[in-house]
């Protein structure tokens, strides 16, 4: 074994997986996991832990994998993360814990995410669950939203003995984990549901079909229903558009709508009646993980798919692994390209998209080089569907119906970066509702930090 190289991970063949929604990555077996764990050099000052938003004891759990004590490895991870099987699949480890892995200086970093996934999957298969605390303090806490931030905050508060209720607007808990990330990256029944069940096993109650701000307000939860603190983890589900001509045509979708129909409403499954327009020639506008998810979903639904992105491949915000998988699956990339107009036929349906070539100029406020139009470079792509994946904003409903709760000009709730405390006493917030669309693990980190702050706040007001 070459200790400078990662143990390869098994995957479905691209020619097979484009015809199904089964998980692409097949994971390690015990021998592969142990071999990869043995590549860890057990640093005295592990930088990987600092690179993890929830500060998992990475060397600790990896050393237990080396010893083949997978139960103990899970117990270590479980102290820090409420959703390890999910994080092991969708977290951008390459830009977090693995990016600072010392082994990566002279070779490949340790596959921390794949090892976390193996441990969590083993625990699920062996029916190992977290245990609820022996004592409850009887103090009621409300969590709004059952995405990664809400689930993490709920688990942390339950562990501290609080009486926790999650309020979820949709009919299934999980937030972006169930409506936003495709089955081939994150299986819902096999992975997401058991992780949510682990949170419920801590004593957390989940009420679905409750739209806070409409069904009930935060003021009513606190003033009439006895909740002493509230955490807002509602994410950012309001899609952004370009505002170009033709964008209201039939056959233009937001990535949110497209993925929600496919994922949560199971439009990919012929046994469900959920309608979804696949199109024969589809363009996905954007370059993030959501764009890759939409493109790869459309491909599996039978379309010829092109990703249109205004910067170069070096600036693509999507994970390298997702871009690699998309290319393997035959998805085309029109880089340094920007839409100018969506062309519409006499019946109001998309028939094409006028685009312009771009070149990179000076860096903008994001640190990336600003794309600039190339003169006289317009061209047309023939299409019948366009999926806009241009980021999302928080829904303003909660901020507009909660007294004293401030949001910023982007519609995000204003909250302390460290504690999640908002302008309304007793109300905390974190994740995409505060930052705008980001990653699952950053939302989890915000939920964990807010739980610590909520606990301190509640203990102080009890004095």
Under CATH, which architecture does the 10-125 domain have? Orthogonal Bundle (1.10)
CATH 1.10.1060.10 domain range(s) in the chain: 10-125
Q: What is the distance between the alpha carbons of residues 25 and 28, in angstroms, rounded to a whole number? A: 9
Convert the pLDDT of each residue in 174-189 to its tens digit: 999 999 999 999 999 9
What are 415's strand-pairing partners?
Answer: 422
| pLDDT for res 461 | 85
Q: DSSP of 140-189, one letter per residue?
A: EEEEE--SHHHHHHHHHHHHTT-EEEEE-SSSSS-THHHHTS-TTTS-II
The three-state secondary structure class of 10 is strand
pLDDT at 1 over 80: no
Convert the pLDDT of each residue in 240-298 to its tens digit: 999 999 999 999 999 999 999 999 988 888 888 888 887 899 999 999 999 999 999 99
Task: Please tell us whether the domain made up of 140-237+393-462 is placed in CATH 3.20.20.110.
Answer: no
Convert the pLDDT of each residue in 401-449 to its tens digit: 999 999 998 889 999 999 999 999 999 999 999 999 889 999 999 999 9
Q: What is the distance between the alpha carbons of residues 52 and 70, in angstroms, rounded to a whole number? A: 21
Give the CA diameter of the chain. 71
pLDDT at 463 over 60: no
- Beta strand pairing call for 350-363 and 369-373: antiparallel
Mean pLDDT of the chain: 94
| pLDDT for res 267 | 86
CATH homologous superfamily of 241-390: FAD/NAD(P)-binding domain (3.50.50.60)
For residue 20, which of 289, 243, 301 has the smallest C-alpha distance? 301
CATH 3.50.50.60 domain range(s) in the chain: 140-237+393-462, 241-390
């Amino acid at each position: 074994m070459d200790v400078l190289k990662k143990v390869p991970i098994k995957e479905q063949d691209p020619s097979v997986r484009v015809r199904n929604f089964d998980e692409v990555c097949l994971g390690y077996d015990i021998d592969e996991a142990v071999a990869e764990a043995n590549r860890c050099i057990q640093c005295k000052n592990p930088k990987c832990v600092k690179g993890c938003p929830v500060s998992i004891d990475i060397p600790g759990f990896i050393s237990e994998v080396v010893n083949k004590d997978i139960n103990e490895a899970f117990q270590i991870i479980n102290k820090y993360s409420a959703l390890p099987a999910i994080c092991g699949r969708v977290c951008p480890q390459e830009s977090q814990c693995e990016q600072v892995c010392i082994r990566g200086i002279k070779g490949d970093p340790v596959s921390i995410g794949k090892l976390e996934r193996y441990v969590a999957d083993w625990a699920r298969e062996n029916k190992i669950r977290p245990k609820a605390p022996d004592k409850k303090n009887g103090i009621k806490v409300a969590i709004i939203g059952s995405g990664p931030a809400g689930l993490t905050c709920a688990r942390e508060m339950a562990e501290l003995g609080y009486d926790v209720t999650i309020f979820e607007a949709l009919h299934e808990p999980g937030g972006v984990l169930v409506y936003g990330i495709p089955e081939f990256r994150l299986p819902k029944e096999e992975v997401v549901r058991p992780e949510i069940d682990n949170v419920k096993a801590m004593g957390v109650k989940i009420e679905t079909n409750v739209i806070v701000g409409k069904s009930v307000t935060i003021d009513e939860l606190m003033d009439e229903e006895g909740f002493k603190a509230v955490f807002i983890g509602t994410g950012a589900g309001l899609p952004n558009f370009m505002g170009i001509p033709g964008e209201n045509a039939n056959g233009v979708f937001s990535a949110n709508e497209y993925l929600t129909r496919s994922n949560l409403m199971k439009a990919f499954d012929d046994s469900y009646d959920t309608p979804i327009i696949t199109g024969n020639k589809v363009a996905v506008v954007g370059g993030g993980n959501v764009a890759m998810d939409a493109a790869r979903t459309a491909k599996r639904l039978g379309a010829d798919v092109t990703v249109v992105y205004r910067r170069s491949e070096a600036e693509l915000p999507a994970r390298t692994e997702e871009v690699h998988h998309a290319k393997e699956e035959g998805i085309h990339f029109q880089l340094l390209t920007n839409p100018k107009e969506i062309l519409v036929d006499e019946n109001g349906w998309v028939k094409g998209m006028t685009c312009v070539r771009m070149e990179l100029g000076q860096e903008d406020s994001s640190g990336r080089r600003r794309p600039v139009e190339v003169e006289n470079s317009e061209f047309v792509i023939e299409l019948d569907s366009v999926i806009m994946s241009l980021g999302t904003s928080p829904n303003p409903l909660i901020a507009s119906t909660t007294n004293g709760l401030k949001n910023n000009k982007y519609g995000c709730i204003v909250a302390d970066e460290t504690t999640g405390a908002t302008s309304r006493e007793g109300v905390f917030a974190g994740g995409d509702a505060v930052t705008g669309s980001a990653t699952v693990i950053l939302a989890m980190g915000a939920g964990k930090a807010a739980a610590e702050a909520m606990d301190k706040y509640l203990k102080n007001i009890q004095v």
